[in-house]
Structure 1
Amino acid sequence: MSQRWSSTKEEADAFEAEAAAIEEWWQTDRQKHIKRPYSAKSIAALRNVGFKIEYPSSAMGRKLWRILNEHNSNGTYELTFGTTEPMIAKEMAKHLQTIYVSGALCGLSQAAWPGADHADYPADLVPSVVKRLFNTQLWHDQRQTQMRMRYSEADRQSLECIDYFLPIVADGDMGFGTLTGCMKMVRSFVESGVAMIHIDDLALGLKKFTNGEGRTIVPTSEYLTRLTTARMTFDIMGADTMLLCRCDSDHAEFITGVIDPQDHPYVLGATMEVASFIQAIEQCKADGKGYLTVKAEWKAKAGLKTFDDAVQSVATQDQYSAYVAEVSGKTVPLQDRRKIAKKHTGKDVFFDWELPRLPTGQYMWQWSTRAVIDRAILAAPLGDMTWSRQDKPNKKDMHEFHSEVRKVFPARLFAFGYTGAYDFVKAGYTEEELETFPRDIAKMGIIWQVQPIWATQGLSLHANQFAAKFKKEGIAGYMRDVARPAIAGMATDKYGRPTARGDYLADAFFDVVAGVDIAGVVQ
């Protein structure tokens, strides 16, 4: 049997050296802002001690970290969009600094069985798309290097020299279930060459968009566990991959559980003794009423409130002020809130958060900007950036969220996603404000901005327009409107030959194998 170590002392020395190297790594500029709930020795014990793999994801993560911090220092921003297509990613390199890979877009365009944004595609789908894009970046850089090295230094002054290595940011959704499932997904991302992933606090399997209801989130503790799992996996792999803490609590309507006292102030309960919401739904089937109508009627009948609001409705102003003084700014579970309320009001406040539960188990939730802020602040030490998903950005909410988080973390980096369906002008923004919107929000630290699913509008629109025109005008229209402009805009050398051609690289492989020197000679 082959022995891994010649002695236990050699093993112990290697382990201690590994732990020390991890501690040193954690003190670098790239890592020192992260607060971990575990020790370097725990991570060393989970590593292949003495066998180090340097992942391209690390280099891309460090590159993205530099790009984003430079924007933050300058008050500028990176604006990009989502794609799953390598040919499009190639063109993005000429204009942008990053690429985004949306889970929703992967589910629509890359899954064997496509579907809407329900995160029900295989866990390795998005990493596989990232891998294909990263391989494309490698190939184009290799092609460009080989092509350029055929020319003299003087000739290379006029040739394209594009940085194809745009850091790729990708959608990790909810981490795909179990802790070990999240680990495996994160590992796949690191192995794919990703620069940053985001993981959110939505509930797996409960993304619904068809009945007019809001999102379902998980308890804060479960969200933090997801982020900690991702961070731990990066640490085990020794990767400088960035972690974006995306919080989808904005306008959330449900939460899967009430296990975490930090969530208790925002859980809704019935303040009147009524039949349960599940019973009301069963009755609505018999009565032929619509679900949303019954829901609104039941909520009004049940006097749905948070516990604090329920206390306020039965207390005097002085009693409520005394109650708030004891619970404000603290993590106080519902059981203790009941005792404090009784102490100041002299009565048991009726509040039942079980009555509003849905047939699928969720509790009803009262979102607020404060609730989102609380969650984002707790998550921030585990990640490198924060993204509060605000599909319908309200000026006041946006300013409050980002300024309040920055009071705790002054140098915090933020991300923002633009949804194609949102009409800013109808929502109260002027055309002038819309023109300067990216620049204005960058002043709040929102320095990475993305239109996640451009392809569902932009690519689809262009394809539809081209298909209609191609059918009408045929190859003559294609040559006039596509081929000729594309050829005219193609980069060429001083001899008029296209430079962005992969056949040069293929020819070079044959030449090198044959012993031909391929550098410095234009053929």
Structure 2
Amino acid sequence: MATYKIDVDAEENAFQERVAAVQAEWGRPWRSHIQRPYTAESIAALRNSIPLSYPSSIQAKKLWDLLETHRQNATCEKTFGTTEPTTVSQMAKHQQTVYVSGALCGLSEVQHPGMDHADYPWDTVPKVVEKLFKAQLWMDQRQSQSRLRVPKAERAAMEGYDYMMPIVADADMGFGGLTTTVKLAQTFVEAGVAMIHIDDLAIGLKKFTVGEGRTVVPSSEYVSRLTAARMQFDIMGADTLLMCRCDTDRSQFITSCIDPRDHAYIVGSTALNIEPLVDAVRAGIVAGQAYTAVRDAWKARAGLMTFDEAVAAQAPSQAAYEAYVASGASVYGTALAERRKKAAAALGKDVVFDWEVARSKEGQYMWKPTVQTIVDRALLVAPLGDMTWARMDAPVWKDIVAFHEAVRKVHPERLFGFGYTGMYNYEKNGFTKAQVASFASDMAQMGIVWQVQPTWAVQGLNISTEEFARDWQQRGIAGYLEMVTAKSVGPPVTDGFHKPGYSGAYLADAFFATVAGEKITQ
């Protein structure tokens, strides 16, 4: 039987070389903001003996440079979500990046479409990224050979676009345990992504149909997710960027109270001898009542608030409450048990507060979202990522300003992303038309350099398709010639196929000509 004997001296030398390579990668100026909880030795030990390189790194550096330029100029990139190569081909004329939304993928790229519940297979979005990246390569290749058929002096007048726009993709919540997150990160890198974002939402608990908000995971689990993705990028030696998205704004639940850093924002009942919410719901449903009605009635009786709010409400005097605050009980990360002890000492009595009775029928704890909750989480994970995105479901300008100013106070050069949702009601939130018009540029002043409308296709493509479908039915080819053909022959040319100058210069023809020995360049 054949045996393989390892030269331990050569093995050790190779390992030390890998350690040095990792340290050199981490020491580059544009990577200096990242702080890792593991060593270069650990990453070197996890690397393959054969070094590999990935286009993802090239695209990541390109993305970093363009976003940094935006930050320095107080400008921003405005892009939108798509899953279609044809859409990407037109975005190249106006956008600098492409976004692949998980919600869109869940609608158009799976056998069983659904809404934004992240219930599609974990490799769905990476597959779409790979499709778009390969399409970009094809567009870039086609344009290159088309241009190089023309003498240099004439190329300045030709159309030319950067089809290799960095792709930013939605990695949702990592889709499972840490090994799944690791595999997801690896698949994204191999697909050619420039940056992914991972959020702090709980798997399988995205629901909005019964008037309940999102559910987040404990801070410790969020940190672990991002660490797993960062670790995998490091193992692969990839410069892929990582955006830390915090969804605590408008979230109503948290899965666990295991992390003391979350205790300040977990909500409990301050009513004496109240039955648990789940018991009330169970009894109500047996009696034929609607779940939402029973839930809302219980909430009205429960006196729900955070522990610190309960201390303020039950303190015999303002001085007693101030003594509680002065004791340091409200410092970030103080556990509930310690808060109770200090409250009893300051108030001279125990505070009525029970977060167990307020748990949902799925076992989640109730959560009070505030700007500070997002700030706390954003600052906690900032060293692991390259960019921060606080998901906000309403355009509340004071909250937007408060969050970004608080994070920038600690990280002045932080890059931020921002997502516009279709449900935004600017008039309801006090915006004038002029303020809406300057919204993007006003945010850019705060370092919000990447701004995205994630699900444009849901509305945009529906509207465009409906308009064409109606016109085609009414006017037939006459309408087609006016609405489509006249606009597609340019300029600008919509896809490069209709312009006479491209005739005979399709990429396939260039392949045939080159195989035949024909020179295709000038």
Q: Which residue of 2 aligns with 1:403?
A: 405
Deviation (angstroms), 1:503: 5.5
Q: Which residue of 2 aligns with 1:432?
A: 434
Task: Tell me which amino acid in the other structure corresponds to 2:324.
Answer: Y
Contact 1:357 / 1:364 at 8 angstroms: preserved in 2?
A: yes
Q: Which residue of 1 aligns with 2:370?
A: 368
Deviation (angstroms), 1:396: 1.1
Contact 2:489 / 2:499 at 8 angstroms: preserved in 1?
A: no
Mapped pair 1:47 → 2:44: no
User: Following the alignment from structure 1 to structure 2, what is the Cα–Cα distance between the partners of residues 70 and 358?
Assistant: 46
User: Following the alignment from structure 2 to structure 1, what is the Cα–Cα distance between the partners of residues 461 and 194?
Assistant: 25
Cα distance change on mapping 1:420 and 1:509 into 2, 3 Å: same
Cα distance change on mapping 1:121 and 1:335 into 2, 3 Å: same
Contact 2:146 / 2:505 at 8 angstroms: preserved in 1?
A: no
Q: Which residue of 1 aligns with 2:181?
A: 182
Task: Tell me which amino acid in the other structure corresponds to 1:15.
Answer: F
Mapped pair 1:91 → 2:93: no
Cα distance change on mapping 1:421 and 1:304 into 2, 3 Å: closer
Contact 2:490 / 2:499 at 8 angstroms: preserved in 1?
A: no
How do residues 183-198 of structure 1 correspond to structure 2 at under 5 angstroms? 183-198=182-197
User: Following the alignment from structure 2 to structure 1, what is the Cα–Cα distance between the partners of residues 470 and 4?
Assistant: 66
- What do the CA deviations read for 1:284-337 (whole angstroms, capped 9, x no partner)? 213433333322221221221211111222222112111112223342111111
Contact 1:143 / 1:502 at 8 angstroms: preserved in 2?
A: no
User: Following the alignment from structure 1 to structure 2, what is the Cα–Cα distance between the partners of residues 48 and 488?
Assistant: 50
User: Following the alignment from structure 1 to structure 2, what is the Cα–Cα distance between the partners of residues 485 and 241?
Assistant: 38
Deviation (angstroms), 1:499: 4.9
User: Following the alignment from structure 1 to structure 2, what is the Cα–Cα distance between the partners of residues 446 and 104?
Assistant: 22
Contact 1:369 / 1:401 at 8 angstroms: preserved in 2?
A: yes
Deviation (angstroms), 1:348: 1.9
Q: Which residue of 2 aligns with 1:321?
A: 322
* Matched position secondary structure for 1:185: helix
Contact 1:491 / 1:499 at 8 angstroms: preserved in 2?
A: no
Cα distance change on mapping 1:262 and 1:501 into 2, 3 Å: farther
- What do the CA deviations read for 1:180-216 (whole angstroms, capped 9, x no partner)? 0011111110001000000000110000121111111
Deviation (angstroms), 1:497: 4.9
User: Following the alignment from structure 2 to structure 1, what is the Cα–Cα distance between the partners of residues 443 and 112?
Assistant: 38
Q: Which residue of 1 aligns with 2:336?
A: 334
* Matched position secondary structure for 1:327: coil
Mapped pair 1:263 → 2:262: yes
Contact 2:395 / 2:424 at 8 angstroms: preserved in 1?
A: no
User: Following the alignment from structure 2 to structure 1, what is the Cα–Cα distance between the partners of residues 397 and 2?
Assistant: 65
How do residues 197-212 of structure 1 correspond to structure 2 at under 5 angstroms? 197-212=196-211
- What do the CA deviations read for 1:53-82 (whole angstroms, capped 9, x no partner)? 110000000000000000000000000111
Q: Which residue of 2 aligns with 1:275?
A: 275
Contact 1:491 / 1:498 at 8 angstroms: preserved in 2?
A: no
Deviation (angstroms), 1:241: 0.6
User: Following the alignment from structure 1 to structure 2, what is the Cα–Cα distance between the partners of residues 266 and 2?
Assistant: 62
How do residues 278-293 of structure 1 correspond to structure 2 at under 5 angstroms? 278-293=278-293
Q: Which residue of 2 aligns with 1:294?
A: 294
Q: Which residue of 2 aligns with 1:418?
A: 420
User: Following the alignment from structure 1 to structure 2, what is the Cα–Cα distance between the partners of residues 199 and 478?
Assistant: 43
- What do the CA deviations read for 1:432-457 (whole angstroms, capped 9, x no partner)? 00001000011111110000000001
Q: Which residue of 2 aligns with 1:459?
A: 461
Q: Which residue of 2 aligns with 1:357?
A: 359
User: Following the alignment from structure 1 to structure 2, what is the Cα–Cα distance between the partners of residues 228 and 4?
Assistant: 35
* Matched position secondary structure for 1:268: strand
Cα distance change on mapping 1:500 and 1:378 into 2, 3 Å: farther
How do residues 1-12 of structure 1 correspond to structure 2 at under 5 angstroms? 7-12=7-12
Cα distance change on mapping 1:517 and 1:500 into 2, 3 Å: closer
Deviation (angstroms), 1:6: 5.0
Matched residues, number: 516
Q: Which residue of 1 aligns with 2:473?
A: 471
Task: Tell me which amino acid in the other structure corresponds to 1:126.
Answer: V
Q: Which residue of 2 aligns with 1:247?
A: 246
Contact 2:308 / 2:330 at 8 angstroms: preserved in 1?
A: no
Contact 1:144 / 1:500 at 8 angstroms: preserved in 2?
A: no
Contact 2:395 / 2:425 at 8 angstroms: preserved in 1?
A: no
Mapped pair 1:23 → 2:23: yes
- What do the CA deviations read for 1:96-135 (whole angstroms, capped 9, x no partner)? 1001000000000111111100001011110010101100
User: Following the alignment from structure 1 to structure 2, what is the Cα–Cα distance between the partners of residues 73 and 509?
Assistant: 43
* Matched position secondary structure for 1:488: coil
- What do the CA deviations read for 1:351-378 (whole angstroms, capped 9, x no partner)? 2111011111111011111111111110
Which consecutive residues of structure 1, in runs of 5 or more, have no partner in the other structure? none
User: Following the alignment from structure 2 to structure 1, what is the Cα–Cα distance between the partners of residues 509 and 270?
Assistant: 77
User: Following the alignment from structure 1 to structure 2, what is the Cα–Cα distance between the partners of residues 419 and 116?
Assistant: 14
Q: Which residue of 2 aligns with 1:124?
A: 123
Mapped pair 1:508 → 2:510: yes
Deviation (angstroms), 1:488: 3.2
Deviation (angstroms), 1:270: 1.3
Deviation (angstroms), 1:426: 2.5
User: Following the alignment from structure 1 to structure 2, what is the Cα–Cα distance between the partners of residues 479 and 366?
Assistant: 56
Cα distance change on mapping 1:471 and 1:48 into 2, 3 Å: same
User: Following the alignment from structure 2 to structure 1, what is the Cα–Cα distance between the partners of residues 313 and 247?
Assistant: 30
Q: Which residue of 1 aligns with 2:310?
A: 310
User: Following the alignment from structure 1 to structure 2, what is the Cα–Cα distance between the partners of residues 255 and 456?
Assistant: 30
User: Following the alignment from structure 1 to structure 2, what is the Cα–Cα distance between the partners of residues 501 and 26?
Assistant: 49
Q: Which residue of 2 aligns with 1:233?
A: 232
Q: Which residue of 2 aligns with 1:348?
A: 350
Deviation (angstroms), 1:343: 1.5
* Matched position secondary structure for 1:251: coil
* Matched position secondary structure for 1:414: strand
Q: CA RMSD in A?
A: 1.6
Task: Tell me which amino acid in the other structure corresponds to 2:32.
Answer: K
Deviation (angstroms), 1:501: 6.7
Contact 1:391 / 1:417 at 8 angstroms: preserved in 2?
A: no
User: Following the alignment from structure 1 to structure 2, what is the Cα–Cα distance between the partners of residues 469 and 427?
Assistant: 37
Task: Tell me which amino acid in the other structure corresponds to 2:322.
Answer: S
User: Following the alignment from structure 2 to structure 1, what is the Cα–Cα distance between the partners of residues 69 and 54?
Assistant: 24
User: Following the alignment from structure 2 to structure 1, what is the Cα–Cα distance between the partners of residues 2 and 129?
Assistant: 38
Instruction: Give the TM-score normalised by the residue count of structure 2.
Output: 0.96
Contact 1:490 / 1:498 at 8 angstroms: preserved in 2?
A: no
